[in-house]
A and B are shown apart, each in its own frame.
Chain A
Amino acid sequence: MLKRTLLGVSLASLMAASAWGAEVKIGFVTTLTTPAAVIGKDMQDAVNLAVEHMGGKMGDLDINVIFEDDGFKPEIGKQKTDKLVKQDDVTFVTGFIWSHVLLASRKSALDGGKFLISSNAGPSQLAGKLCHENFFSTSWQNDQTPMAMGEVLNQQGVNSIYVMAPNYAAGKNMVAGVKRTFKGEIKGTDFTKWGKDAQLDFSAELAKAKASGAEGIFVFYPGKAGGAFIKQYQQQGLQGKVPLYSVFTVDAIALPKLQAAKFEGVLGSRMTQFWDPTLDNPQNKKFVDGFKAKYGKYPSFYAAQSYDTMYLIKSAVEAVNGDLSNMDGMRAAMKKANFPSVRGEFTYGNNHMPVQNFYLREVVKDGDGTWTTKVVKTVFENHQDVYAKDCPMK
């Protein structure tokens, strides 16, 4: 009885403590409606897993993550960011799948004096001229992954490629990236309509690619467009004739669907990435195993980045002993990238973009027959994006 009362008292005091604001508020802007919600869901799952792995605490503070849906629209993303900044008064605004949503929301978060952490989008502007002391990324700059792919193409002696990407900020960055390192000829470039009514039938573009006589096709189609593209690539008879080189197209979100529909053609296809579920480090093992156990599927790179975001924030909060008014202290802590990352060790450049390795990955069957990816080799070691030099920060 006494024990019970004591427990009750301590519980009550605990609740009082959290009512006093002993929590760290994190706003997470992602896409939870429209077909792109499948990405947002993966990120949300990873964040919830991270909170669970942290026991719901960062230092002494309770974690309070507020998820907001951007509806795949920059304008809505900005409205939600405004709400998080002004109404919820969060300390960290994070999430952001889409480069255009991040660009639209940037001013609201940074002018509001909050930390802005991208868990995916890496538009060139934010790495370069518009870099900011309170902006960090746990992903990559858009150009880096396709640059690694361009390097792979050179190594394999591919002489010409045809390029396709969606017509938005990241698509343009991806194309710029591959063109930067690829030494052969670009036979043609197609930008297709993007957004909630994205173009998903690529018949005209694939016919052009085939007619162009290019030796390979480079594509960037994140989310549901990726699966659609792969299928049409196969149906148009390009498989085995014009090899496909992709970035962010074949991922843990597309693969289960492709496996269910038995699109064997995707096995063996290769892409570049900063991370892979097979990377050998304790944090990654904890993450991948935990994710598979909890959600019964492989995590995507979106999930990996979101998981890292939470640990980055944790490192900052703990460095200042929970004093969330100490922005300088938290900034200095984050700059060190001193947290266990699923990608292994990395550092931050002057623009607060990760300087990290990029790997070539291949689609394979795992021990249970589930389709996933594995690392083939390392393409770049400690690679820094090219826009860092435009960033005035030291």
Chain B
Amino acid sequence: MIKSYKLRRHIANGLIYLLLIILGIIWISPFIYLVMHSFRAEGLIAVDHLIPQQWTFKNYIDLFTGVGGNASINFPRWFLNTFVVAIFSCIISTVSVLMVSYAFSRLRFSARKKFMNVGMILGMFPGFMTMIAIYYLLKAMGLTGTLVALVICYSCGAGLGFQISKGFFDTIPRALDEAATIDGATKNQIFWRIILPMSKPIVVYTVLTSFIGPWTDFILAKIIMGDNLDNYTVAIGLQKMLHNDFINTYYKQFLAGSVVVAVPITLLFLKMQKYYVEGVTAGGVKG
């Protein structure tokens, strides 16, 4: 009886391993294809085989030097644009998220609950709703097609994403605040000297999330930039490479560009997951 039960379990586990391996291959193979073909030398767009026959770095070199291409496709510039936008919106978003979550978590004031509810409800509204309207607003201000507009868009609503870091701040014992208050510290000093140094995982998590945002966003950048190719970010830039006018020259460079963007972002994302788990499960302090 026990033996057959064990056998059954072994067979079941074996089947599961088999399934997981197949699924794993399905999920990972597009990326393997992407990386392999970004080093491909032969062919323009499609080739009739899955594994490249000649390997080269030329696609990457062309991507960054722009040799033999159209002047309007300027990947280094797009990369720099995205980087600048990411840095600025990261700073502004992180600061506002931390400010809002600290205020809601540690300070007690009359309209706190109301503010939090309004914030939560606003945060739940689908983003594209405001996107279209922000487009009108920026158009009237003459800001469409500029990087400033992008920074504004990525960071303006950041304060609404306060829940996760508020949850983290909530786990830090209030006794610490009280002790500091007795020693004569103001709320401002408590924030900077006590709470922030203890909140490394959640600060890193916030920084990484807001830094990754501009690299992965597509729709907002598309709406704001329109045809202003100079100020494109990598996302809409790479899509431009697949446009009918460019795809013959740029298909392989598109693959190379995708790798260049995807690798660092993937690593950052995995790092962020780690900090998220650390922040959420470990809680603020022990002892």
Does A associate with B in a complex?
no
A residues lining the B interface (CB < 8 Å): none
